[in-house]
Chains A and B, each alone.
Chain A
Amino acid sequence: MIDDIIKMFDVVSGQEHGSIVKVLLIGFAFGAIILYSRLDKFEKMAGFMIFEDTLVPRMAMTTVALSSVGFYFLVESGYATYNIKPTMLGGLIIGGILFGIGLVILGKCPSAFLVSVSEGRLDALVGVIGGMFGGYVFTIGYPYIQQILGPDLGKIRVPDFFTEHSLLIVFTLSGILLTIAFLLPTIEYEDPADINEKNK
């Protein structure tokens, strides 16, 4: 086990994707933002899907809208390259369905549940353990699972369908997302557990 952990750090330092300290800091910031915006709370993620809270969609749309414009300029000026995941239809649809069911029941996604654990939520810890088993079964079953992942439509982006005007497309989509994020009403599930602590 200890050898494996040392190997994990070796593999990371051997990649051209930042030093270990940098990767840890990126994670630290990611976790801190998730906790500070309360995305790790069940009431936010599950609440979004049963229409009792709008924090998650508004924040996610803002992130995607701002990032897409930023990414476009980073790539254009040579400071970044796109890293697109392949469009494997079978895997995306079956995986998306299972993920959606898991998401609404657990009420957190696979990075927020670790943040939830760091806040002392034991149900999230059980979710993490369940996730470990999910990963285990996937690795074991991969030779069989592989057959349902396709067809592979390749690494495609929306602007690929429009050979020109990709900046215009980026700006339009980002504008639409930002507008929706601002127009969505603020519905907030007030967690009594939070309110009690405020009054302490």
Chain B
Amino acid sequence: MPRSIPWWLGGLLMALLFYYTFSTWGANRPIGASTGMSYFANLIFDLDTEQYEYAAIIEKSGAWEAVMLIGVFFGGLFMSTVVTKTFHLSYIPTLWKERKNTSIPSRMVWSFIAGFLLIFGARLAGGCNAGHILSGGSQLAVSGIIFAVVALGTGMITGRFFYKKRKK
């Protein structure tokens, strides 16, 4: 089996999965992920729907996405252990080592901060790149287009300052 698929095949497969999920044969709703993460957070920190308004708001869609995310994890695990055989424990990505540093604590602290911003930001915006850019963009939703421009624009600017090329 090849170790990866090209971008056009990935895009095609993803679109087919979206058709299925979106249609009445599948789930009759778009794909999203960050509401599911928020749901897990409420579950772990024991924030109940009676006391917290937001927990009540996302009770239904969050549960759907949380169950989907369990599937996502096992889908990835299956592929990485059976098909691509890329499963191995690692701490720092290669590009980070090249551009930033080789310190494990530094990568972990930044990962934590970035993960926090990712979910907090996605909740503020009402969705992440799965919900806003892929699902939203596919429906030509204005919210999805605004999110894509702001998020990717900020990412590119931040990236320029955050990952400076090392002087050789």
Contact = CB atoms under 8 A, between A and B. Distances in A.
Interface in A88-119: 88-89, 91-107, 109-111, 113-119
Using C-beta atoms within 8 Å of the partner chain, give the interface range for chain B: 35 or more
Interface string A176-200: 0000010000000101111001100
Nearest to A31: B75
A37 B94 contact: no
Q: Name A's interface SS.
A: helix
B86 A119 contact: yes
B79 A86 contact: no
B14 A33 contact: yes
B71 A49 contact: no
A38 B4 contact: yes
A47 B162 CA distance: 12
A20 B73 contact: no
A26 B27 contact: yes
B114 A101 contact: yes
A137 B119 CA distance: 10
B113 A130 contact: yes
B142 A64 contact: no
Interface centre among B13, B76, B147 (most CB of A within 10 A): B76
Interface in B134-164: 134-147, 149-156, 158-160, 162-163
A110 B128 contact: yes
- The 10 A-B pairs at the shortest CB distance, nearest first, are namely A27-B71, A62-B11, A31-B75, A130-B115, A135-B41, A95-B125, A100-B154, A95-B124, A96-B150, A98-B121
Interface of A: 1, 4-5, 7-9, 11-12, 15-18, 20, 22-43, 46-47, 49-50, 52, 54-55, 58-68, 70-71, 74, 79-89, 91-107, 109-111, 113-124, 126-140, 142-143, 145, 148-149, 153, 155-159, 169-170, 173, 181, 189, 191-194, 197-198
